[in-house]
Amino acid sequence: MSEATRAEYCVIACAEAWRDAGEILASPMGVIPSVGARLARLTFAPDLLLTDGEAMLVRPDGTPEGWLPYRQHLALVTGGRRHVMMGASQIDRYGNQNISCIGDWERPKRQLLGVRGAPVNTLNNPTSYWVPRHSRRVFVEKVDMVCGVGYDHADGARHHRIPRVVSDLGVFDFATPDHAMRLASLHPGVTLDEVVAATGFELAVPDEVAATRAPTAEESRLIREVLDPANNRSREVGS
């Protein structure tokens, strides 16, 4: 089997967010997190619940196993039995996330989606983030609108947790004394300088930087032959 692509490393990095998660709902947003969640379900997180993106809970092959309309989905969030991986138009050092607008909220330069469920997600269940194009436009000193709550705004809220941020360059977490973002691993082929240059704030960097793990042969097979044979992942992250 040919070597793993950058997109496939990203799939693994996303999938790892749900390792040993138990019987909770995985809510991936984006192609690569979706492949990652289903990969986790097929391998090291067999109890995960998945949705079809609408109102059904489904097995990885699409077979319905439950009903989860939006009203129940929102109730499930507040029950905490979920780990969501959201996108981020901006994310800052403490994990505040913005998907609402760019510029002044009163009169935005660019209107985006709106806060959606980011405020309720971040106060109720683990919330991770996926950024397919790591740049200083996304990794900013301060977000324009706090949608997902970061550690400096959470004030120790009892169910607040941001397990990881995955980008096309690496994996990041908040395992620092003040919960500032830290580089957890670099994807193969990415240099530390590259990440630092593409990040608009001072990133905590450990003395020894780990490498994102490679997919196993079986994981590669599942990704390429079962979960994403059309290779949609490569449209989200090029090689």
Residues with Cβ within 8 Å of residue 216, at least 6 apart in sequence: none
The residue written with tokens 């996303």 in the block is 14
Candidates 63, 158, 193, 207: give the one binding another protein (CB under 8 A): 158
Burial 30-53 (b: 16+ CB within 10 A, else e): bbbbbbbbbbbbbeebeebbbbee
Give dist(CA 155, CA 188) in Å, integer: 36
Q: Which of 14, 58, 91, 149 binds another protein (CB under 8 A)?
A: 149
| Stretch of 20-28, 42-50, 147-155, 173-181 lying at the interface with another protein (CB under 8 A) | 147-155
Binding of residue 81 to another protein (CB under 8 A): no
111 is a contact residue toward another protein (CB under 8 A) = yes
Q: Which of 22, 46, 119, 206 binds another protein (CB under 8 A)?
A: 119
Give me the DSSP letters along 77-98.
HHHT-EEEEEE-SEE-TT--EE
Is 74 a residue that touches another protein (CB under 8 A)? Answer: yes
Torsional sign, CA 216, 51, 99, 227: positive
The answer to whether 105 contacts another protein (rule: CB under 8 A) is yes
Q: Tell whether residue 153 is a contact of another protein (CB under 8 A).
A: yes
- Taking CB under 8 A as the binding criterion, the range among 38-46, 154-162, 165-173, 217-225 that sits at the site for another protein is 154-162
What does 166-210 look like in DSSP terms, one character per residue? EESSEEEE--STT---EEEEEPTT--HHHHHHT-SS--B--SSPE
Q: Does 147 bind another protein (CB under 8 A)?
A: yes
Residue 54 engages another protein in binding (rule: CB under 8 A): yes
Residues that bind another protein (CB under 8 A): 54-56, 67, 69-71, 74, 77-78, 100-101, 105-120, 122-124, 145-149, 153-155, 157-160
